[in-house]
DNA sequence: TGCGTTAGTTAGAAGCTATAACTCACCGCA
DNA sequence: TGCGGTGAGTTATAGCTTCTAACTAACGCA
């Protein structure tokens, strides 16, 4: 019977083919972005014809959702592994940038333009808060940031609304630092990946590391 | 003959219909994002059938390019008008946020996930540098930012690579302030518009205005 | 009034997602 | 060893998309 078993040869074949489909999907997304993903083209690449893929994914949306989940998972693992290896916030910043540059479209799948109708499943927000947790851990360890002056209004707001931190014991100043880490690095990084700095002649890495220095000094 | 004339009734009708097409296109984009834009659906909405639109736009890409151009134009006009009314950097920050919230998909059309193959025409980068110019003007006027400590490495880099500023006489510190204004506010704003803060319970406006206070204090 | 330009039409090719119906091979089990 | 069920992959089809080609009709200018 093997109700939840995954050891039957069919299950293993199925899992392997699903992975192969996702592999081709990633290549298409890297080449032409998420809207350029075509189930038909993937099937043709794999030597099988069209509707066969619907045995493995309910449709284009489910495939993309799965890819988003994998992207979150990959980022969370990267951040967590970097943190576990003893890195501080600066190290996390470097890891984040390397991860993003490794596959810009994967970054945009997470933090890019959202599709208006789409709602992320619950487990994705779980992974997202796992990332936030790792950031909070690291933001708590460093010494207090010297360059960011007090902002009593923001810190009061953060002290009130911290249910999202899921009981994380970080003080408001660390919460603030983690949020700034997120928003400021995303600001530089997303503009760089979108190519908004090309033609301006300046090096996006300089901007990014300058922000990172401010956050971790 | 009226080689470049625009006063013939046909020309006026043509311009009006082009505007009407773009109007419907904006509604579709606001509802379902750029990938949800369909020439066919627009034609159906306007009571005419499919290929008629190709009299007015060479194709979907040209229509989207035109919309991007209009979005840049709209943002540049908003920024410039706000600056001309005597606003400082803080005022520009408020104007930017209001403009973005007015139509998030229009913001994403400019600063969102890029389509890998797409290359913006020259006049668009001209408008983009016009926006940057207005920012530089405002960044130059305020007093020196107290909260951003010196970053000699970044300022040296900015002093070297300033050909993009098109001969703008702003000193490196103002250039740096304008860049921070852009990247930091975009960081918060794009995450807010993408809905990344929903479910966290905190108010994105507090984050945005906190960053703005740091930039303009 | 007549002629040329242009708007809008239908038809059709090529691509896409997705469903339905069918065939065939494999796997477990008696 | 053979039989039956499960599931993989096929073709056909509907309906959507962009976009081209060919045709008609109307409009405006001389």
Distance B115 CA to D28 C1' (A): 43
pLDDT band, very low/low/confident/very high, at B164 (cuts 50, 70, 90): confident
Nucleotides of C under 7 A from a protein CB: 6-12, 15-21, 26-29
The CATH superfamily of A60-216 is Tetracycline Repressor, domain 2 (1.10.357.10)
> Coil, strand or helix: which one is B161?
coil
Distance A2 CA to D13 C1' (A): 37
Give the mean model confidence (pLDDT) for residues B170-179.
91
Instruction: Give A-chain residues touching B207 at CB under 8 angstroms.
Output: 154, 179, 183
The upper half-sphere exposure of residue B165, i.e. CA atoms within 13 Å in the direction of its Cβ, equals 20
**Does residue A82 contact residue A95 with C-beta atoms inside 8 Å?**
yes
Tell me the nearest-neighbour CA distance from A3 into chain B, angstroms. Answer: 35
Tell me the nearest-neighbour CA distance from B197 into chain A, angstroms. Answer: 10
**DSSP string across chain A:** --SS---SHHHHHHHHHHHHHHHHHHHHHHHH-GGG--HHHHHHHTTS-GGGGGGT-SSHHHHHHHHHHHHHHHHHHHHHHHHHTT--HHHHHHHHHHHHHH-HHHHHHHHSPPPTT----HHHHHHHHHHHHHHHHHHHHSPPPSSS---HHHHHHHHH--GGGTT----HHHHHHHHHHHHHHHHHHHHHHTTTTTTS---HHHHHHHHHHHHH-
Residue B155, both tokens: 């300022």
Give the mean model confidence (pLDDT) for residues A184-189.
98
Residue A36, both tokens: 């350029």
pTM to 2 decimals? 0.94
| CATH (one of 3.40.50.880, 3.40.50.261, 1.10.357.10, 1.10.1060.10) for B64-216 | 1.10.357.10
Instruction: Give B-chain residues touching A152 at CB under 8 angstroms.
Output: none
Ranges A59-63, A69-73, B117-121: which has the least confidence:
B117-121
Q: Which residues of chain A are in CATH 1.10.10 domains? A: 1-57
Please enumerate in sequence order all residues whose Cβ is within 8 A of that of B69, keeping only pairs 6 or more positions apart, or say none: B121, B123, B124, B127
Is it true that domain B1-57 has CATH number 1.10.10? Answer: yes
pLDDT of residue A3: 37
Nearest to B202 among A147, A158, A201 (CB): A158
Contact B146 A149 (CB under 8 A): yes
In terms of pLDDT, which residue wins out, A216 or A148? A216
Distance CA A162, CA A5 (A): 40
- B182-202: b (≥16 Cβ within 10 Å) or e: bbbbbbbbbbbbbebbeebeb
pLDDT of residue A143: 65
Give the mean model confidence (pLDDT) for residues A96-100.
98
Give the mean model confidence (pLDDT) for residues A153-166.
81
């Amino acid at each position: 019977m093997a109700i939840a078993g995954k050891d039957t040869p069919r299950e293993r074949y199925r899992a392997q083919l699903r992975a192969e489909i996702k592999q081709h999907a990633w290549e298409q997304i890297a080449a032409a972005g998420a809207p350029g993903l075509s189930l038909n083209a993937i099937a043709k690449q794999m030597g099988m014809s069209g509707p066969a893929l619907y045995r493995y994914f309910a449709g284009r949306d489910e495939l993309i959702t799965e890819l988003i989940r994998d992207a979150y998972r990959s980022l969370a693992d990267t951040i967590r592994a970097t943190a576990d290896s003893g890195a501080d916030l600066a190290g996390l910043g470097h890891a984040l940038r390397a991860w993003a540059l490794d596959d810009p479209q994967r970054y945009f799948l997470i933090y890019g333009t959202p599709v208006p109708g789409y709602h992320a499943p619950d487990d994705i927000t779980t992974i997202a808060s796992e990332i936030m947790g790792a950031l909070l851990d690291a933001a708590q360890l460093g010494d207090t940031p010297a360059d960011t002056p007090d902002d009593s209004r923001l810190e009061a707001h953060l002290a009130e609304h911290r249910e999202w931190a899921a009981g994380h014991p970080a003080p408001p100043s660390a919460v603030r630092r983690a949020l700034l880490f997120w928003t400021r690095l995303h600001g530089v990084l997303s503009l760089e990946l979108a190519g908004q700095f090309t033609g301006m002649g300046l090096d996006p890495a300089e901007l990014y590391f300058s922000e990172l220095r401010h956050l971790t000094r």
